[in-house]
Amino acid sequence: MNNKLEDQYMDYLFQCILTLKSVEECYQFFEDLCTVAELKAMSQRMHVAKMLTEDRVYNDIVKMTGASTATISRVNRCLSYGTNGYRMAIDRAKEQ
């Protein structure tokens, strides 16, 4: 576990997210929870992670996502040295 994030409030947030049953419910919940900018940043990072796992080069990722090279580097660092969260989510999305 990631002890710097783990607490009862974070647990409750994640428990609530796990109750969502459709993309439409996710839109409803996350539009209430986050700003448009926060949601766009998260979706951009997921798209960057997906492209990095497909061995796409930074220049292509910048052109296709509009992400900065700093964002791409941060996501790449998480893919290489993080908790495997991006890969787990991307792999499970492929299964669906």
User: Do 27 and 43 reside in the same domain of the chain?
Assistant: no
Co-location of 16 and 53 in the same domain: no
Residues 1 and 16 in one domain: yes
- 60 near 51, Cβ under 8 Å? yes
- What CA–CA distance (Å, rounded) separates 47 from 13? 23
Residue 65 sits in the same domain as residue 80: yes
Return the H-helix or E-strand segment holding 42: helix 36-53
pLDDT in tens, 43-82: 999 999 999 999 999 999 999 999 999 999 999 999 999 9
pLDDT, tens only, 6-51? 899 999 999 999 999 999 999 999 999 999 999 999 999 999 999 9
Task: Judge if 29 and 45 occupy the same domain.
Answer: no
Range of the domain at 46: 35-96
